[in-house]
């Protein structure tokens, strides 16, 4: 029987942290913020169910702010692969 949980869907112990998502060169700033917002919703639900995923909403908020600041400075507006098309 396969057990499905927020932790396993998040990658278990090998999951990316919010900070790693914020610095991923393969995602645009918009994609990072969308992904981090979805992650925050899942983490908030996990906390309500007494699950510890190794980071909380505050760390995700900090990563979102970091991405937004980078976008304001012109960083990560395109993906690395966009120029290869």
Contact 21, 39 (CB under 8 A): yes
Read off the pLDDT of each residue in 66-81 and give the average, rounded to a whole number.
77
Q: Compute, in degrees rounded to 10, the torsion defined by CA atoms 41, 43, 44, 49.
A: 130
Rounded to whole angstroms, the Cα distance separating 81 from 37 reads 24
Enter the pTM of the model: 0.68
The residue extents of the domains of the chain are 16-75
Q: Out of 8-12, 47-51, 68-72, pick the least confident.
A: 8-12
């Amino acid at each position: 029987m396969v057990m499905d949980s927020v932790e396993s869907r998040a990658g278990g112990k090998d999951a990316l942290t919010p900070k790693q998502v914020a610095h991923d060169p393969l995602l645009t700033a918009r994609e990072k913020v969308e992904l981090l917002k979805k992650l925050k919703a899942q983490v908030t639900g996990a906390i309500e169910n007494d699950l510890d995923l190794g980071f909380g909403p505050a760390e995700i908020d900090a990563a979102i702010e970091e991405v937004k600041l980078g976008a304001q400075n012109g960083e990560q507006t395109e993906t690395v692969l966009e120029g290869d098309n």
